[in-house]
Structure 1
Amino acid sequence: MATRTTTSNAPRRTPFLHVALALQALTIFLQAVSAGLLLTASYGETLHGVGARVMYGASMLYLLAAVLAWKPGGGSPRPVWHASGFLVLASAQVALGTAYVPSVHLPLGVLMFGLSVLALARR
């Protein structure tokens, strides 16, 4: 009877991490949509404000998923650093949006979306 051997170098499947990352990318994309509505519809500001809270929560969920994939799951700590960076960017994004600094808020949002899609594609 043949037995299957696993090594510590084998990549581990972490579906929660993938789902959390996809959710973060989706919420950032929806923030871009709601930013357009902010300029054209009366309810845009409310939608964008609620979306900011959801996006921030998704960033925290991504960090939690990365920590769970790393510590108890035995994975690489690299996703924890990426998720921490996203949370820092999300914090800056919320602060800049609240302070009405669109000259930095908008490009930072585009950067965050690009980094989210890149991280998702690398998974």
Structure 2
Amino acid sequence: MLVIVLQGLTAGQLLGGVTGALSLHGTGALPVHALGLVQLVTAVLLWRPGRGPGWPALASLALFVGGFAQSMTGGGGITVIHVPLALGLIALTVAMLTWAITPRPGSPRAG
């Protein structure tokens, strides 16, 4: 979530004309991709050997692929796709974070 928020901050700086923001925003894509892969692997392990729900793996796959689509559209200057896709990725990230930190009945955190 933190790297997604930082990407949003650098995007705002970019739109505000801050010098160097384009480079910073482009560099921020690397941690998004790396952490997206870590999240995807973790979600698959939760689902398959962990017998957890499968939807986080699908959502993580969407975030991972969406991150690369973000890089391609942003690098190509296709803001008409880049900006709405960013909003969708932020919404999905917030939904997954909310799910991850919400205590479930019967868990030690629920009591």
- Using structure 1 for the length normalisation, give the TM-score: 0.73
- How far apart are the structure 1 equivalents of 2:59 and 2:99? 12
Displaced runs of 4 or more, over 6 A: none
* 1:114 is the counterpart of 2:91: yes
Aligned counterpart, 1:100: 77
Equivalent pairs, count: 99
Per the alignment, residue 104 of structure 2 pairs with none
Q: Which has the higher contact order (CA 8 A, sep 6+)?
A: 1
List gaps (5 residues or longer) in structure 2. 101-111
Aligned pairs (5 A) from 1:1-123: 25-39=1-15, 40-123=17-100
Q: Aligned partners of 1:79 and 1:115: how far apart in 2?
A: 10
Residue 64 of structure 1: how far off its partner (Å): 1.0
Aligned residue for 1:73, secondary structure, equals: coil
Provide the rounded CA distance (Å) in 2 between the counterparts of 1:88 and 1:119: 16
Deviation at 1:29, TM superposition (A): 1.4
Which is greater in Rg?
Answer: 1
Q: CA RMSD in A?
A: 1.4
The share of aligned pairs that are identical, in percent, is 32
Q: Which runs of 5+ in 1 are unaligned?
A: 1-24
